[in-house]
Amino acid sequence: MSLGYEGNLYVLAFDHRGSFQKKMFGIEGDPTPEQSEVISDAKTVIFEGFRGAVDKGAPKDAAGILVDEQFGADIARTAKKEDFLFAMPVEKSGQNEFDFDYGDDFGKHIEEFDPSFVKVLVRYNPEGDAGMNKRQSARLKRLCDWLHEADRKFLFELLVPAEPGHLEAVGGDADRFDKELRPGLMLKTIEELHAAGIQPDIWKIEGIDKREDCERIAQLTRSGGRDKVVCVVLGRGANAEAVDHWLQQGAGVAGYVGFAIGRTIWWDALKGYLDKSLERDAAAEQIAANYGHFIEVYEAAEKSS
């Protein structure tokens, strides 16, 4: 299997675990079996919204989901059975340092569910903790080698958190960090990961405010013969206006093929379902509409570019 991916990709992401149970349900620690059932039901509403969007015309060959095993195992099995594209995470939830959720058994879990893509979320700042970066790189190299030997696609979600010195340099303004410093740090990170032998097929990239920065990142991910490697835009839980802007910057850039958006699509609708201000079908319909909106924004920007 060659490195990279062909075609557009519109991922509805709901693999959130620790943050999901805490922020959506107020559950600390390990949930009880009853609490897990409630969480799984909420994720099923999101999946119902996704299926509704496909029924209404979202392109099935590009539409996909990102769902976890802990709360979404049945959803993943259904997605496989119904021939949807789907990704599953292998990282432990809620940790600053990447490690395998199932330890040395990570491969068995991948083989059991047979996802279209295997996803990791990694926090990596090239000017941050060098020891942590080295440990993460070693684990990621192990995963990358396993995936490519098994002919499986690797979806890499890269987050570059600000170090204290970076925030100090921009007067404590997180927005300035995102605009002025983060793109350059992302490029350094990708270079370091490439040098460590880590070869994603798809990079899940934080929203970028300037098209030229999207171009620089896409060019780097495709450098050195990686001609078919692609990028998708992640939503970061931002408001729809911000996400629209990020999609418009990436759409049409050679190497950008879509998005992987989560909370921006389903948070409000799911809250409404849980507090009973929305019926289940209405919540799913709202999720479908939000997901469809971002597909329309991306495809319109792609055509206009």
Q: By CB neighbour count within 10 A (0-12 exposed, 13-18 middle, 19+ buried), where does 195 fall?
A: exposed
Give the CB-side neighbour count of residue 282, counting CA atoms within 13 A: 9
Give per-residue burial for 72-81: e unless 16+ CB within 10 Å, then b. Answer: bbebbebbee
* pLDDT exceeds 90 at position 94: no
- C-alpha–C-alpha distance, residues 240 and 263, integer Å: 10
pTM equals: 0.96
- Compute the C-alpha angle 300/209/177, nearest 5°: 160
| pLDDT tens, residue by residue, 210-239 | 999 999 999 999 999 999 999 999 998 889
Which residues partner with 153 through β-bridges?
117
Confidence category of residue 1, pLDDT binned at 50, 70, 90: low
Give the number of other CB atoms < 10 A from CB of residue 275.
8
- The ranges assigned to domains in the chain are 9-304
Domain 9-304 CATH class label? alpha beta
| pLDDT tens, residue by residue, 193-207 | 999 999 999 999 999
